Structure 1
Amino acid sequence: MSPCGWAFRLSEVLDVGVVVLGQDRRIDFANRRARRLLDVGSDTELEQAWIRIQPELAPLFDRAVPGASSPVEGSVPTGPSPEAAALRIQVYVIDEDEYSGHLLLLKNADRADAIDASLRHATRNRNLGPLYRDHAHDLKGAMNVIAMNVELLARRNDGDSSQSDMTVRSAVVRRELNRLDRTLDVVLNSHPVERESPQVYDLGLLCRSLFELVAPRASRQHVRLDLALPSGRLDLDGFPDRIHDALLNLLVTSLDAMTEGGTLKVTVERSTAARVYVCHTGPGLEADKLSELWCLHDSSKARGTGVGLYVTRMIVEAHGGRISYGPGPSGDSCFIVELPSPQPHSDL
């Protein structure tokens, strides 16, 4: 079956626009959904629309490579008007014996953004649920200690406690109240406010808050946490709530791999790009799984959804960054996130 033939078959079952380009980057096939998204009817209108948006796609074509496990993605306007709808376009390279060119998948950008937001929220809730249970156990333990010491303090009226004993019990209650306060702060800060526009945020502070969030689970699994941050602030431009979700996915994935203990180390480096190394001593991925690591619905876990790492890649690339997986400096398994253009500190 020719590429245009299988593209037609594919387009009949998927609610996306499908465009096949030849080696000359001219349209060989466009399904009905693609024509509706481009707001064209005839082949002549289709060619004119393609000539209009092709320059916007040039950077995507430059980045697309054969055999990539994930597409190159970007958004382009459908027309010159500021009110024109935008399209989310994914670019795949076709490099087969019988055909060479590109496959483009088109979606309405607003609709695609809404779907991405739903995936982010679902992944966040899936990650936070078990972590909240671990924090709830900590809260319950603190409350039990407070209740016991309050009961002992109450006996002072009966003359059963010395002044020194009362001082010790009071200190214990104050300590546990502080512990409660810290735990509640961690829980409250674990669900960052969604931002409508980018802002400057401190990547080091964000990583520190994530470590506090996963600390109870790491303790329960006998996993040692190690955080290495550069001195001073490391300010980046972006959406801190989304970067929070992306890095939390990596931490949870790493903890999932260390059910019998180990070490989880996060190293943040300041360079031409900010780099975050999330390394763990659990089992690594098999080589035949690496090509599908970032694909939607692909998971090596028995009950995994295959959404977490896909969402992580989506968030990192939307920030102009890159993510990879491989052996770390000590031979352990390591996710490497690169985020561009660390900014000098400025007050918003």
Structure 2
Amino acid sequence: MMPESEHAKTDRPESEPLLRSILDAVQDAMVVIDDQGRILWFSAAAQKMFGYAEDEVFGENVSTLMPSPDRERHDGYLRHYRETGERKIIGIGRITTARRRDGSTFPIELTIGEATSNGIRVFTGFIRDLTERQRTEKRLHNLQDELAHVSRVTAMGTLATAIAHELNQPLTAIANYVEASKHLLSEASPEHVSAVLEALEECAGEAVRAGQIVRRLRDFIKRGDTDRQAVPLSRLVNEASALAFMSTGSRALEFDVSVGAGEHVLADKIQIQQVLLNLIRNAIEAMEETPLKQLKISSRKAPGGMIEVQVADSGPGLPAAVARDLFQPFQSTKAAGMGVGLSISRTIIEAHEGRIWVSSSPLGGAAFHFTLPDATAGELLD
């Protein structure tokens, strides 16, 4: 049992039966803290959600319920608010992660309100466990996946037909020119050599035309400008990780985020979250059979005005031969994988003027890195 804070005991508002009945009836977890971050109230739903009895956490710092790096930074957030009055999340719901007594993390929707009780400023957090929606979400995802599969098959069939139609003429011409050249060379003469040179020149022209057709089709697939804005990197990581945990199920793993609080990247928020979501899901799936599951997301300043993001896991790692071609289309380490996720991720990162690669992880598995432009100017999103 955690030691109680005697100072917090004296500050705790008087317990009234009506208030207690309300706290116990609220389905969402409800946690009340003072302006020093000490827990004053811990509802029955919160006890069930986090695995702590109220007496165990009463008077303790609410950061106990948070994974890194929020755990280490929370007191600083409160101190900044007391000194400046600047609100960051009070009154605004957000998706983040929380930490149970057993150390496992899970996605939550958090809303914080502020009030004064008996002259004491208190903050009330309403916490909704998003993993409770997983069964419904997975059903919807399965239906969406089936529809997406049909759409992909249809699109690939249309694309294959377009490529076959467009490339048929130049490839047929190249084949005819080569066959004619072969016939002319079998009966070598000065006139035939001149004709062969002309045929080869036509072959080269048709090959260039075929390349232009492929590039045009590729541009057609990739068309559409990215809507890039200055976005806090921590927000991208927090929301993407919450979505990843929701879609893969709650697993006991050590999850650590080390991202600069003031780091902003120039990015299309949805596209980069898709990259992060893909990398985090891959890491979680790679650690499925490993006894020690560690996932770390970190960032650092990189040359050329870029920020490098790293997603590292403690999984089995990747053989060099696999890592070399991993970002090519239809290359996958999964038995049922299509091998397009990392290829799409590379396309997105390169469209953001960055690059993506894989290396050995300091945790023993694989580490995926990508770079994005460092947003040092422009409108920042709070």
- TM-score range for the pair, normalised by the shorter chain length: 0.3 to 0.5
**TM-score, scaled to structure 1:** 0.46
